[in-house]
Amino acid sequence: MKNFVTVLLSILLSGITAYAVVKASDHFLPKDETVAVAGESGSSEVRTVNLADTDYPDFTYAAESAVNAVVYVEVTVTARQSQQIDPFFRFFFGDEFGQQQREQKGSGSGVIIRPDGYIVTNNHVVQNASSIKVTLYDDRTFDATVIGTDPATDVALLKVEATGLPTIPFGDSDALRLGEWVIAIGSPLSYNLRSTITAGIVSAKGRSMPNTTGEFKIESFIQTDAAVNPGNSGGALVNKKGELVGINTAIISQTGSYSGYSFAVPSNIVQKIASDLIDYGSVKRAVLGITMQPIDDKIAKELKLSSRSGVYINEVSKGSAADAAGLRKGDVILSIGGTRIAGTSSVQEKVNGYHPGDKADITVLRDGKQKTFQVTFLAAAEANGTTDAEGAVAFYGARIKDGKNGVEIVSVGPGKMLEAGAAPGVIIKYVNDEPVSKAKDVLSIAARAKKSVFMQGVTPEGYPVYFGFGKE
């Protein structure tokens, strides 16, 4: 009898404990959330979504709400192909005599961001395209035009003539956390695999990749292990809420196919670039005016730093936004606009989010003490004429300096020179048909020009080059 009572009390106690645990979980776990979901025609419907964590993630809401707004992008590029011809004919008729035009096809993905037909994709997907076709999830096909591109971030904006299209709302890529689940949506490898959905986690943030082209790049990629292959470029990276947190852009692979690592441009960068291209027709990029490097062991030891977070300022350009605010060589930038700076890519990403004329507080470590300065950002053109420690002069986003046989382009950053096709190493010999031998000549002639600036020069190999831009 005593054993029976003991067993009965044990069962009763277990039941009370289980009930208490269930009630406690009801209190602490996230409740179902009612959200508006975009339908295929652009209309919205109300749906209840369970956002509570389970043994495995549930992507049904994110996938179903986002897949309709991811499109297939087909690109046609007209390329010239040279044929072997007799040197005698080449001498009389030139190189173009032996060239034929040949059409090449390429493909990628894109994301509809506005119901009236604005689509974001990668610049490398549509670069040099002679025609672009976009196929929607419902198989409708449209001709697309390029509204604008930004090679520095590898973002491009397309437009199709349609209304009422489904969209993916922008999410806050800064709020992404390591280990957070995300899905990638795109058209890997072929047309037949359109709207493929893969899942993974955020593996890292603020990633950069080796740059062998010498071009100016703003890289602060989101790294994930969601499977991405050629054709996924320009597709959507989406969080569990169905928000766009990135545009898939690249993989690192020995074979050219997915091998565990994929990279996406953060949505905060994409949104700013797309807004600028829609509102202004070009990217209005802020310039801080510093050269910088990561905190290494040597710097950390010399400055007696307890952490390697932040970036070290190597130089401050005279007349730049940083110079006017009071930043100095040797300062360590800890935060910009309240956002902690982990490395150089963090600075690029944060500054890229501002427009010329915007103000931000920058906190630095100087002589062991934290100091905060307010910076008013300048545009690349406004920084013309500022000189760095090497004597190079800022000129519409590029840096130029006096050379032996003209004016050498030292580097090319965001601005009109980059958009015109200028490249490092080129020697500028003429500006608007006037010979130049010093950087100040280039600045003077460009300042006098009313509408446009046209330059003639030679490459390091001695080939002639021509490029120019409008001042307005």
* Residues taking part in catalysis: 124, 154, 233
End-to-end CA distance of the chain: 98
User: Are 208 and 220 a contacting pair, CB within 8 Å?
Assistant: yes
What distances in angstroms separate CA 209 from CA 165, 268, 271, 340, one per listed residue?
35, 19, 22, 21
Q: Residue 390, exposed/middle/buried by CB under 10 A (0-12, 13-18, 19+)?
A: exposed
In which residue are the tokens 């950087």 written?
A: 439
Q: Which residues contact 203 (CB under 8 A, 6 or more apart)?
A: 178, 223, 224, 225, 261
Give the integer Cα–Cα distance in Å for 173 and 120: 16
Q: Which residues contact 307 (CB under 8 A, 6 or more apart)?
A: none
Q: Which of 182, 183, 232, 199 is nearest to 72 (CA)?
A: 232
Q: What is the DSSP string of 325-372?
A: HT--TT-EEEEETTEEP-SHHHHHHHHHTSPTT-EEEEEEEETTEEEE
In which residue are the tokens 């001695």 written?
A: 462
Q: Which of 381, 387, 290, 296 is nearest to 331 (CA)?
A: 290
Give the integer Cα–Cα distance in Å for 202 and 180: 5
CA–chain centroid gap for 86, Å, is 47
